[in-house]
Amino acid sequence: MTTFVLVPGMCHGGWSYRPLTERLRRHGHEVYPLTLTGVGERGHLLTAGVNLETHILDVTAALEAEEIRDAVLVGHSYGGMVVTGAADRVPDRVDSLVYLDAVVPGDGDSCWDLVPDREREWYLDVTETGYATRPLPFFDPRATPHPLASLLQPIRLAGDLTRFRRRDYVYATEWDGESPFASVYRRLSEDPSWTTHALAARHNLMRDAPDDLLKILLEVAGAA
C-alpha cells in the first residue's frame, strides 16, 4: 500500500481529485486529497496572512497528524510549489514527488517568477478585498478565489530534492497556445534524475486524462 497526498492547483479544493481518489483507493492505496487554507470549503479562512508558507504547513501538518511516512506527494499546477516546500520541510515523511503540469521551484522562486506574463495578468485580477485572485470563468463552478500572497511569496528550500526515491513530471500537451510549463518539461526531460510523461490532454489532467494519470501513479506506487 502507498499513501498519496494530493494537493490541488489554484482556486481548487480536494474535490478536484475525487475520481482519482476513489480509483486509487479501489487499488488498495491510502489517499488524502487536501484543500488548502483560504480555498474551497476553507475559503472562510482567507485573510491577508494566508501565503505559500501557510499552504506548506497545511501539508506538513496533515502528514504529522495522520502519522504518514513514505508519502507520495502529488501537486497540480500551483500545487508544485506546495509539495516542493513540504518535502523540503519534512523529508523523513516523503518517499516521492509527482508534479502534474506544475511549477517546479528552486530556492528563492515564487510562482509569480515561474509563469509567463499572461498568467501574471490573471493573478492581478483580484477580488474586492485585494487578498485573492479570482477563478477564471471556465473553471469548475466550485472554484473559489485563491490567496494572492501565496503566488508572490518566494519559497525557501534548505535541502536537496534529489534525495527522494522518485520525481515524476506529467506534462499536458493540449494547451491553447504554448504551455507555461513547456520549458520546465524540456529541462526535466533531459535530467536523468526525473521521470517525465507527456499526455495528450488539457491542463486539468485529473479530469481530462484520468486513465493515463492513474496508470502513472500506480507505476510510482508499484516501484516502491
Give tens-digit pLDDT for 23-39: 999 999 999 999 999 99
Q: What are the counts of helices (DSSP H) followed by strands (DSSP E) for the chain?
A: 8, 8
Q: Catalytic annotation on 150? A: no
Which domains, and CATH codes, for the chain? 3-222 (3.40.50.1820)
Q: Nearest CA to 168 among 212, 202, 115, 200? A: 212
Instruction: Judge whether 61 and 39 are in contact, CB under 8 Å.
Output: no
d(CA 202, CA 209): 8
Residue 178 predicted with pLDDT over 80: yes
Instruction: Judge whether 145 and 46 are in contact, CB under 8 Å.
Output: yes
- What local confidence, expressed as pLDDT, does residue 86 receive? 98
- Could you tell me how far CA 35 lies from the centroid of its own chain? 11
For residue 101, give the C-alpha cell: 503540469
- What local confidence, expressed as pLDDT, does residue 104 receive? 98
- pTM here is 0.97
Instruction: Work out the percent of the chain whose per-residue pLDDT is above 90.
Output: 96
Strands (E), the chain: 3-7, 30-33, 71-76, 94-100, 132-133, 146-147, 166-172, 195-199
Q: Which of 16, 77, 96, 179 is catalytic?
A: 77
d(CA 177, CA 94): 35
Specify the DSSP element, H or E, that contains 24. Answer: helix 18-26
Instruction: Work out the percent of the chain whose per-residue pLDDT is above 70.
Output: 99
Tell me whether residue 80 is exposed, middle or buried, using C-beta atoms within 10 angstroms of its C-beta: 0 to 12, 13 to 18, 19 or more: buried
Instruction: Judge whether 107 and 177 are in contact, CB under 8 Å.
Output: no
4-26 average pLDDT score? 97
d(CA 224, CA 221): 5
Radius of gyration of the chain (CA): 16
d(CA 111, CA 103): 7
